[in-house]
Amino acid sequence: MKPSPFDYHCAKSVEDAIAALAAHGDGAMLLAGGQSLVPMMNLGLVTPEVLIDITRLSDLAYVRLDEDVLRIGALATHNTVMRAEDSARACPLLVSAYDNVAHHTIRNRGTLGGNVCHADPASEMPLVLTLLDATMVIHGVDGGRIVAAGDFFVDAFETAIATGEMLTEIRVPAQAAGEGYAFEEMSQRKGDFAIVSAGCRLSIEGGRMTNVRFGLTGAGAQNRRMTVLETMLEGAVWEARLLSDAVEVAVVNADPSDDIHADVAYKLDLVRAMSRRVLAAAVEMAVK
């Protein structure tokens, strides 16, 4: 299959890309890694009038630790982010979750910025960045602004980026020393999007849990950070009974729907299993 006809613009700079976006409005789309956009164009799911190629903007392909913030350029590939020493040092949950993301060839071309802008509700990185309290740096003709990850992901395939704007950087605060974390998912094949995934991070200070973050995909609203469970655990003394109670809170507050891969009952079983695993693993790591 072939995409519908489109004009092509090769951006020479971020400013050039933004100017092209402003000039062409809703008819323009950015090409970064192309691992989602190109198949969608070939299937006729998206039909841009103008394709703005930003793949040559190498100054947006960095990963670096700036004091206690991991700064990731929007065009850094998944493999670049996954393998960077600064990523492992500052945000081990991010690196750990990458074990579940796609396949080597896709990660070698696909970009983290393109992935989060695509905002597939089954994608792992939007959930992980939300749990890590990341912020997104967005630029347009009127300048730049910063949006928290929790506000960036508006709905399935919808983000806070407005017409004429582009994502330029992702900023992830470094995880606290001694923090426990875990990420689990169940997919039909390794590298596929998850049927259900779960992520968690927390610290234990004076025997009590703090900075609790927990979320799911495949269980309702996309990148479902479950604040009701976080509130339940925040400040609590960990004990075995609390794990069972927390898991049931996750199940009760999950709202999956039937699809071609699994029915609701199976997804709820996965929510129960994945939640138990990540909570137990994060606590075990935090108390060591």
- 1 within domain boundaries: no
Residue 215 and residue 232 in one domain: yes
Any bridge partners for residue 167, and if so which?
Answer: 138
φ, ψ of residue 150 in degrees (nearest 5): -60, -25
Residue 187 and residue 235 in one domain: yes
Cβ neighbours of residue 225 closer than 8 Å, sequence gap 6 or more: 127, 130, 131, 150, 213, 214, 215
Residue 73 and residue 37 in one domain: no
**SS3 state at 57:** coil
Per the structure, the count of domains in the chain is 3
Burial of residue 1 (CB within 10 Å: 0-12, 13-18, 19+) is: exposed
Q: Which one, of 164, 218, 128, lies nearest residue 19 by Cα?
A: 164
Supply the pLDDT for residue 158. 93
Supply the pLDDT for residue 198. 96
Residue 279 and residue 212 in one domain: yes
User: Nearest-5° angle of CA 59, CA 61, CA 62?
Assistant: 90
* Strand intervals (E) in the chain: 7-10, 28-31, 50-53, 63-66, 69-73, 135-140, 143-148, 153-155, 158-159, 166-173, 180-186, 196-205, 208-217, 224-225
Q: DSSP per residue over 172-210, as a string?
A: EEPPPTT-EEEEEEE-SSTTSPPSEEEEEEEEEETTEEE
Residue 146 and residue 115 in one domain: yes
- Could you count the other beta carbons within 10 Å of the beta carbon of residue 34? 18
- 43 within domain boundaries: yes
Whichever domain contains 22, its CATH number is 3.30.43.10
Residue 65 and residue 166 in one domain: yes
- 250 within domain boundaries: yes
Supply the pLDDT for residue 174. 98
Supply the pLDDT for residue 72. 98
Residue 65 and residue 153 in one domain: yes
How far the first Cα of the chain sits from its last, in Å, is 54
Residue 144 and residue 78 in one domain: yes
- 210 within domain boundaries: yes
Distances (CA, A) of 277 to 78, 139, 270: 25, 39, 10
Spans in the chain with pLDDT lower than 50: none
Residue 158 and residue 232 in one domain: no
Q: What is the residue range of 69's domain? A: 58-173
- 2 within domain boundaries: no
Model-wide pTM > 0.85: yes
Residue 74 and residue 143 in one domain: yes
**DSSP state at residue 237:** B
Residue 161 and residue 190 in one domain: no
Q: What is the pLDDT of residues 161-178, one digit of tens each?
A: 999 999 999 999 999 999
Name residue, tokens 């890694």: 33
Cβ neighbours of residue 119 closer than 8 Å, sequence gap 6 or more: 126, 153, 154, 155, 156, 157, 158, 159, 222
Of the three residues 32, 53, 74, the one that is the final residue of a domain is 53
